[in-house]
Structure 1
Amino acid sequence: MRRFLFYISNQCAMQLKLLIAFLLGFVIPQTVYSQTIEPGISEKLAHLRKQHISNLHYVLHFHITEFSKYIAAEEEIYFDYTASDQPLQIDFKASPHRIEKLLVNGKPLQVDHRNEHILILPGRLRKRNNALKIRFVSAGSSAKIDTNGLAYTLFVPAKAREVFPCFDQPDLKARISLKLSVPRGWTAVSNGAIIDSVNTLSGVTFNFGATQPISTYLFAFAAGKFSKYTERREDKTINFYYRETDRAKIDSSLKKCMDLNFRALNYLSDYLDMHYPFPKFDFVEIPRFSVSGMEHPGAVFYNGRTLFMDVASATEEFARANTIGHEVSHMWFGDDVTMRWFNDVWLKEVFANYLGNRFASSISPQKDLKKKAILSNFPAAFSVDRYPSSEPIDRALPNLNQAGLVYGSITYNKAPVAIHQLALLIGEDAFRHGLQDYVKTFKGSNADFSELMSVFQKHTKEDLKHFSDAWIDQPGRPVISYSMDTADGRIQKFSFTQQGEWNKDMTWPQRFEIMLAYDNGEFQTIPVHLSKRAQDVPEVIGMKCPKYILFNSSGEGYGIFPFDKNVLKHFDEIKVPEARAATVINLFERMLSIKADSEKIEKGYTINAEQLLRILLDLAATEPDKQILERELAYVQSIYWRYMDETGRTTLNTFVENSLRKALQQQVPGNRTAVLRSYMRIAESIPVLDTLY
C-alpha cells in the first residue's frame, strides 16, 4: 500500500484524503490557513487583502446582447501578492457553473468556488506580476438590461462582485480597462475615455482607456440608444448622453444641465482649491434610475426626472442644481478620497450634501433653506435616536453584505446635523481650510473619519476628540435644562446643564441660539456655545427679564431643549420660520420623552399626548408656512393613531374632526390641501365620512 501511494500524484493524494475524510464522516473545513471563507466580504478578509495586494488592474470585456440578461465576459486580473504562501479569495457572487475557464499565471486551474468566492490555493501565485484570466457568464442584477435598448450598471455598495470577479472593497483601488461589445446602433460610455470603436459582424466594440485607480463600486458603464450633446469650455470637454425624446423637455433642459455641471466643477474646484481630479467628465441620463444620481468618476449617472423638465419651478431648479452639485462634490469626496470601509459611507454623503447645498444656493438662492433642513433632518434623526437601541453614526460593519444597514436616518439625517455643528464649532474659514487640506493630503487614496479629524485639528483649538466621541462614536442626544435667577426685573444668573438621554455621562459640544422676547415685538438673540455638563451664559446677565424665552431659536441645536409655556400664548409673534419649526419639533420630542420616562426631564414644561394634540390643532388653523403646517399635521396624525388608545380617540374624535374642519376653513388656499389630507386620514365618524366620500 505504501509503495502504491508513493507513485500517486500530489493531486490524487489530496483527492484521496478528501474521500477518506468524507467516508469517515468529517466535514471539509471552510477555514484554510486561518482564513474563514464566508459569504460577503468580511472586514477581517478586507484587512488581510489590503495588506498583501497591490498594483491591481482589471481588464474586462463584456458582450451585451439586446434581449438577454446574460452577459458573456472575459477578464484579466493583474496584481502583486506578498502573501503568496497564503490562499487568495476573489469575490464573485454567482453560481460556480457561470465560470467557464480559469487560468492562473498561464496555467489552467479547476475552479474552487465557495461561499461567493473563487479560492486560489498557495503554490499558484507569486509575489509579483500575477495574471489571472477568467471566462464567465454574468447574470447579476446590478447590471440592468431592458428591452428598450439600454444596459447600465449600479455597483454601490458592494455589487460589482455580482457581475465580475474582483476584490470588491473600497480600499483596494484598481485601474480598470474595458471593452464593451454591443448591438449595432448602440453607443457606450464608461469611466475611461473611448480610445476607439470597431465594427463587428454582430455590432460594435468600444475600447475604453484605463481609469485612474478607483474602487470597484465606482466602476460603471452604460450602453444603448443614446443621443449625445457635447460642449467645450476652456480646457474642459463634457459629453451628455441622454435618452429623453420629449422636444419641450430637451429644449428647456439640455443646455441648462450642461451649464450646471460645468458650473459645479468650477465652483467646487475653487472652494476646495483643487482641480477636478479625473481625466474626463461625462454624465448620463438613465430613465427610471433607482436613485437621483450616482457619482461614477468620468460618467456620472442621473435619474432622467432629475434632469429633464419642460417648465421648472424655482423649487425644482434648486433641487436639480442641488443634485448635480451633490454628485459633482463626490468627485473629491468619495471618488478621489474614498472611505476605507463602508461604515464611513456617511462621510462622503454628508460632505456632498453640504457642498451640493452651497452650490445650489449660489445658483438658485432659496429662502428658508435652514427651515427646510430642520424639518427634513431633525424629525427623521430623532425617530431613531430617541431610542436606546439607536446606533452611532460610525457604526460597526463586520461584513459588506450588511452594508445596506448603514443607509438610514442616522447617516442621512443626523450626520448632516453633526457636520453642520462641526462647522459652527470651528468656524467657516477653518472648516473650508480643513476640507482643502483633507482632499489634498489623501488625494487618490483612502481615509477614515479619524484621519479627517486629525486634519481639522490642525485648523482649530476646539477639542475635536470630544466632538467625535459625542457626535460620531456614540448614539443618542442630550437633554438640556436651564436655570435663571432674577432680581429687580433683571437676570442675575443664567445657566444650562446637559446629560445624555440614555447615557447620563455624555455631553455634546454644540452651538445654538436662544431668543429673549419682550413687549412691542422686541427680541434679543443670544448665541450659546455649550460644551460642558453645566455652563453659565454670562451674555444675558443684567438684561431685563423677558416675557418668554425661545430655546434653540436657530433650530441648529440637537437634543431635547427646555420649553417656556408662555411661548404658546405668543406663538404668532414668532416670525422666524426655523424658530417655529424647531419649537414644534421640540414639543413633540418632549411629549414622547416624558411618555417614555418621566424621570428624564426633571424640570420644566411637561406635556402629554392629548395636550399636545390640542395645541397642534390650534396652531394648524393659522400656521402660514406650508412645510411647518405639514409637520404639525403629521404630528397630529401620529399622536392620534399611535399615542392614544381607542378610548382616547373615541373621546376626542369629534373635537379633532371639528378642529380640522375649522382649520380647513381658516387656512389660506395654498395650505388647505395639507389640512384636507389629514382630515381624510383621521375622519372616523359616519357623518364626516359620508361628507368626504
Structure 2
Amino acid sequence: MPSLTRIEAAGRASLLTVHHYRIALDLPTTGPEFGCDTTIRFGCATPGASTFLDVQAAGIDSVVLNGVELAVETVAGVVDGRLRLTDLRADNELRITARMAYSSDGEGMHRHVDPADGLVYLYAMSFLDAGPRWFPCFDQPDLKAGYDLEVRCPAEWTVLGNGAATEVEPGFWRLATTRPLSTYFVTLVAGPYHSVRTVHDGVPLGLHARASLAAALDAEAADMLEVTRRFLDRYHDLFGIRYPFGEYHQAFVPDFNAGAMENPGCVTFRDQYVFRSAATSGERGVRAATIAHEMAHMWFGDLVTMRWWDDLWLNESFAEYLAYRVCSEVTDYPAWTDFGIQRKSWGHVADQSPSTHPVAGNGSDDAASALADFDGISYAKGASVLKQLAAHVGDDVFLGGLRSYFQRHSFGNAELADLIRAWTDAGAVDLDNWAVQWLRTTGLDTLSAEVSDSAVTVTRTPPDDSHRPHTVRVAAYDGAGAVIAERPVALDGISVSMPVFGPVRLAVPDSADDTWAKIRFGGGDWAPVAELLPRIANPLTRVVLHNSIRDAVRDADLDPAAALDMLLDAMPAETVQPVATAALQFATEQLAGPYAPPAERAPRRARIAGVARGLLAGAAAGSDAQLGAARAWIRVCDAGEPLRHWLDGQDVPAGLVIDAELRWLLVIRLAALGELSGADIDAELDRDKCTSGVLHATRARAGLPTAGAKAAAWRMLVEPSDVPAYELYATAAGFFDARRPDLTDPYVARFFDEMPATARHRHGWALAHVVLAAFPSAAASPDVLTLADVAIARPGLDPAVRRSFVDGADPLRRAIASLNRYGRVPKP
C-alpha cells in the first residue's frame, strides 16, 4: 500500500478544508472486527474536482457522498487504501459505514486480552499513518478538524478519548466535540480500566490501567499525579497559555510500541510505567520525564502542529528539551543526568550512523519514510541544540518567541520559518544562520582540551565545513579531582583559551554537559580520565566522561579493554544509580560482547559480575544501589548455581526482595544458561500469568540453548501470525546468543535472507523493531558484515528493513574496526 507523499498532501491541503468528523463505533469483545460509521463534512476550493480518502477497512458496507450512494459495497472498491471521490461540491458530506479490523501490533485499534483475567482492552493509535486502520479520514497533519465520537461497548467498560466522555446509558458513550485536531492525534481507550481521578487548577486529571494492575496503579498514583500537577503549573508559567484541551487523562495501555503518544486530552503510555515490582528512583525519574514530555506536546505538536513530517523536530525536540528542563526545575529527579547518560548516548550513536540526518528539513518524501527519523537525532540531538539556543539568546527571547508562536498559530499548523520569525521578533539575531549550522547539518563536532602551564585551550574540530557555535563550561581539575577553575566560554571559532593557576591534571570541555559534541582530551591520554572519573563530584561532568569513553570505544580511539578497566574501577565510587546502571550495561553488552574477541568474553563477564557482587555487598539493604547491582549481576552471571539459589529464595541479601520482575530476570538468565527447561518456564508462567509474565516467558523460551527452541522462535520471527508485537520483540531480544554459536550461526545468513520478506505481513513500528532487535550484533566478524552489506544493497528492499539493517550493521562495523586496531580481530 503506498504511503502518502508530501506532494499528494500539499495538493489535497490546497483543495480541501475539513470541518468536522462524526465517528460512531460499535466495539464487540469477540471477533476480529468492529463497526465504524463515519460522517465527514468538508469544503472543496475547486468544485468538480476529485480527491481521495484514506481507509483501510475489512469491509465497506456503504458510501454516501452528498446524498448519493456510491457503488462501493466491499473493500474491493478501495484501491491501495484510497477511496476515490469525484465531482466534489463547495460543501460536502461523506458518510461511510465500514467494518474495521482489530490489530495486534499496537497500531490502529489494538485489542488486548489480559491473560491475568481474560478481560478485553482496546486503544486506538493513529500515529503516523495508522488512523485509517480504525476510521476513514483525510490522513495528514495539516487537515485539522473537530471530532465527535459515539461508542457502543459492554456496559462495564470505561471509555476515554480526546473529548470528555459521558455515559449516556449503560454501554453507550458520547465524547465532547474536540478542538481542531490532526488525524494522527485522534484516539480512543475502552475497556474495564481501573481509574484514579482528581482535579487540579480546574483541569480534571485521570490515570487509567488494566484491572489486573489496579493495586500497582493505586500505589504509583501519588507520584504520577504530583509530577503531573507540577508540570502543568510550570508549563502554564512558561507558555502563558493554559492547557487547551479540557480534561487530561493518562492511560497506561498494553502492548504499546512507543514510550507514549501525545493524544490531546488522553495521552497513552506503555503500561510498564505502572511498576508492579520494586523500582528505583531513577526509573521513576524516567517516567516523570516521559510524563513531562507528553504534556509539553499539548502545546508543541497538538496546539501548534507541523505542516508536514519534515518538521517533526518542532514536536519531538521541543518536548524533549522542555521535559528535562521542567523535570529538573520542579522535581527532585536528576533529569539532566539521566538525559546525558541515556538519551544523549542514544543520539550520539544515531548521529554517527550512515542513516544520520539533519535535525530539521529532512524532506520526508512520504509518511512512511518519516517514521525512520523518529530517532535519537529528532529527540536527543534536537533537545541539546535547543538547550544551546536558550543559552545563546537567553530565556527572555527564547520563551518570548515561543509564546508568540503559540498565539499566532493556535489550533493550526506551522513550519520552522514561522518559529524563526517569532524568535526574531522577540529579539534574536541571525537565527537563519544558526538554523543552517545546527539544524541543517549532520554529525558531531569534537571538542578537545589541551593543558599548558597557564591555560586550557579548547579546540573545535567539525566533521565537515559547518561552523557550529558552542556555549559551554570548561572545568580544570587537579590530581585529587578538585576544581581548579571552571567558567563559561563561547566557542565561536576554532579554539578558545582560559587561564588557569595551579597544576591541572584534567581539563573537561562542556563540563556541565550543555552542548552536542564528542569530547576528547589533550594528546589522547586517557590516564587522567581513569584516575579522576571516581573522584569528580559533579555528576554531569562524570556523564560527560562516560559518554566520551563510549564514543571513543565506538570510534576505535580507545582500547575496549582499557575502557572496561576505567568503568569497573569507577563503579564503587559512583553514587548516581542511572549512571552506574548505564556503565555496567555498556560493559556487559558491548565491552564483553562484540568489542571483545570470543575467547575474552567470558573472562570479561566474570570481571563485571565480580564488580556487581561487590557493589551488592556494599549497598544498603533495600536501596536503589542494591536493586541496581542485583539486576546487573543477574544479567552477566554465567554461574547457574548462585542464580538458582536466589530463585529458590536462598542466599538472598537482606533487604532484596525477589519480586515478580526480579524473579523473571533470574528465569531468563537461567534459561539462556541451559539451567531451566521449557517446562520450568511454563511453571513460572503459571505463577505469574499476566501480560508481563507472558512476555518474559516468551523471551526465556527464545533464549533456551536447544535446537528446537531456536527453530520455534525463528518461525515466530519470520512467519505471518497474529502474535502480539510485544511477543515478537521479546522473541527477537532473546534469540541470538554468542555463547552458543553452534545453535545460532546457522540463522545468521538466514536472517539477511528471510527478514526482508517479513515486510509482506508486517509494517510500521513492528516491522522495523523486530528486524533491529533480532540483528545478530554479537557475531562480530567480517563475514557477517559482508552479509549485511550485501543485504543492504539488495534492490527492492523495504525502506524500514533497510534502515534496520543499516542501523544494525554500523555498530558491527565499528566493533570489527576496534578489534582490528587493537589486535583482536576474530579469524574468518
TM-score for both structures, normalised by structure 1: 0.79
The aligned amino acid for 1:452 is: L
Contact between 2:476 and 2:508, CA under 8 Å: does it hold in 1? Answer: yes
Q: Higher Cα Rg: structure 1 or 2? A: 1
User: In the alignment, is the contact (CA less than 8 A) between 2:385 and 2:515 conserved in 1?
Assistant: no
User: Contact conserved, 2:53 with 2:136, CA < 8 A, in 1?
Assistant: yes
SS at match of 2:141: coil
SS at match of 2:548: helix
Q: Secondary structure at the match of 1:560?
A: strand
2:454 corresponds in structure 1 to 490
Q: What aligned pairs does 1:396-415 form with structure 2 within 5 A after superposition?
A: 396-415=363-382
1:591-630 to 2 correspondences below 5 Å: 591-593=553-555, 595=556, 607-620=558-571, 623=574, 625-630=576-581
Does the 8 Å CA contact 2:338/2:579 hold for their aligned counterparts?
no
CA contact (8 A) 1:470 1:506 kept: yes
Cα displacement (A) at 1:91: 0.9
Counterparts of 1:133-144 in structure 2, within 5 Å, are 133-141=95-103, 142-144=108-110
1:70–1:588: structure 2 CA closer, same or farther, 3 Å change rule? closer
> Which whole-Å CA distance do the structure 1 matches of 2:580 and 2:97 have between them?
59
Q: Residue 91 of structure 1 corresponds to which residue in structure 2?
A: 54
Seen in structure 2, the aligned counterparts of structure 1 residues 272 and 249 have a Cα distance that, compared at 3 Å, is same
Cα 1:529–1:181, aligned 2, differ >3 Å: closer, same or farther?
Answer: same
Which residue of the partner structure matches residue 508 of structure 1?
Answer: 468
In the alignment, which residue of structure 2 is the partner of 1:436? 403
- Unmatched tracts of structure 2, length 5 or more: 114-118, 620-625, 641-669, 676-828
For residues 602-661 of structure 1, the C-alpha deviation after alignment (integer angstroms, 9 at most, x for no partner) is: xxxx64444444444544565555443444444444245334545xx55x976x477547
Instruction: Find out whether 1:171 has 2:129 as its counterpart.
Output: no
1:388 to 1:103, Cα distance in 2 relative to 1, 3 A = closer
- Equivalence map 1:645-684=2 (5 Å): 645=597, 649=599, 656=604, 660=608, 663=611, 667=615, 668-669=618-619, 670=626, 672-673=629-630, 676=633, 680=637
Select the residue among 533, 538, 545 that pairs with 1:583.
545
| Partners of 2:536 and 2:542 within 8 A in 1 | yes
Q: In structure 1, how many angstroms separate the alpha carbons of the residues matched to 2:133 and 2:220?
A: 35
1:433 to partner: Cα distance: 2.1
Q: 1:678 to 1:153 in 2, by over 3 A?
A: closer
Contact 2:533–2:545 (8 Å) recurs in 1: no
Tell me, in whole angstroms, the C-alpha distance in 2 between the residues paired with 1:329 and 1:293: 12
Does residue 1:160 correspond to 2:131, yes or no? Answer: yes
> Contact (CA 8 Å) 2:450, 2:521: kept in 1 or not?
no
- In 1, the alpha carbon distance for the partners of 2:142 and 2:548 equals 41
- 8 Å CA contact 2:249, 2:267 repeated in 1: yes
**Shift of residue 47, structure 1, vs aligned partner:** 0.5
Structure 1 residue corresponding to 2:521, chosen from 552, 560, 563: 563
Shift of 1:273: 0.9
Q: What is the distance in 2 between the residues matched to 1:632 and 1:470?
A: 32
Shift, 1:448, TM fit: 2.4
How far is 1:365 from its partner?
A: 0.9
1:72 counterpart (35, 39, 49): 35
Does structure 1 residue 548 correspond to structure 2 residue 509?
no
Q: Does 1:41 align with 2:4?
A: yes
The residue aligned with 1:7 is: none
CA shift, 1:160, in A, is 0.9
Q: C-alpha root-mean-square deviation of aligned residues, in Å? A: 3.4
User: Counterpart of 1:158 in structure 2: which amino acid?
Assistant: D
Aligned partners of 1:68 and 1:145 also within 8 Å:
no
Alpha carbons of 1:661 and 1:308: their partners in 2 closer, same or farther (altered >3 Å)?
closer
Matching residue within 156, 163, 168 for 1:192: 163
* Distance (Å, rounded) in 2 between the aligned partners of 1:301 and 1:51: 32
CA distance in 2, matches of 1:452, 1:131: 35
Aligned-partner Cα distance in 2 for 1:68–1:433: 53
Distance 1:270 1:401, change over 3 A: same
Would the aligned equivalents of 1:622 and 1:666 in 2 still touch at CA under 8 Å? no
Matched position secondary structure for 2:518: coil
Aligned to 1:6: none
Question: Which of the numbers 638, 642, 651 marks the counterpart of 2:594?
Answer: 642
Q: Return closer, same or farther for 1:682/1:431 CA change in 2, 3 Å cut-off.
A: farther
Deviations along 1:136-189, one digit per CA (max 9) or x if unpaired, are: 111152112345243321111121111222111111001112221223333422
The residue correspondences of 1:221-236 to structure 2 (distance < 5 A) are 221-226=188-193, 230-232=197-199, 235-236=202-203
Looking at secondary structure, tell me which structure has more helix per residue. 2
Distance of 1:558 and 1:614 partners within structure 2: 26
| Structure 2 counterpart of 1:110, from 71, 76, 82 | 71
Matched to 2:543, the amino acid is A
Between the aligned partners of 1:664 and 1:302, the Cα distance in structure 2 is 32
Is residue 2:25 matched to residue 1:62? yes
d(CA) in 2 for partners of 1:608 and 1:78?
64
The residue correspondences of 1:212-361 to structure 2 (distance < 5 A) are 212-226=179-193, 230-232=197-199, 235-238=202-205, 243-244=210-211, 248-249=215-216, 251-254=218-221, 257-258=224-225, 260-287=227-254, 289-307=256-274, 314-315=281-282, 317-361=284-328
1:453-468 paired onto structure 2 within 5 Å: 453-468=420-435
Are the aligned partners of 1:621 and 1:664 in contact in 2 as well (CA < 8 Å)?
A: no
Q: Secondary structure at the match of 2:520?
A: coil
Contact 2:209–2:217 (CA under 8 A) maintained in structure 1: no
Shift of 1:346: 3.3
Q: CA contact under 8 A between 1:633 and 1:678: conserved in structure 2?
A: no
The count of residues paired between Structure 1 and Structure 2 equals: 615
Q: Does 1:526 align with 2:484?
A: no
Q: Per the alignment, in what secondary structure is the counterpart of residue 593 of structure 2? A: helix
Counterparts of 1:674 and 1:208, CA distance in 2: 44
CA spacing shift, 1:206–1:388, aligned 2, 3 Å? closer
**In structure 2, what is the equivalent of residue 130 of structure 1?**
92
Q: Structure 1 residues 575 and 396 mapped into 2: Cα distance closer, same or farther (>3 Å)?
A: same
* Range moving further from structure 2, 401-410 or 255-264: 255-264
Structure 1 residue runs of 5 or longer lacking an equivalent are 1-37, 596-605, 684-688
Once residues 354 and 161 of structure 2 are traced to their aligned partners in structure 1, the CA distance between those partners, rounded to angstroms, is 45
Q: What is the one-letter code of the residue matched to 1:115?
A: D
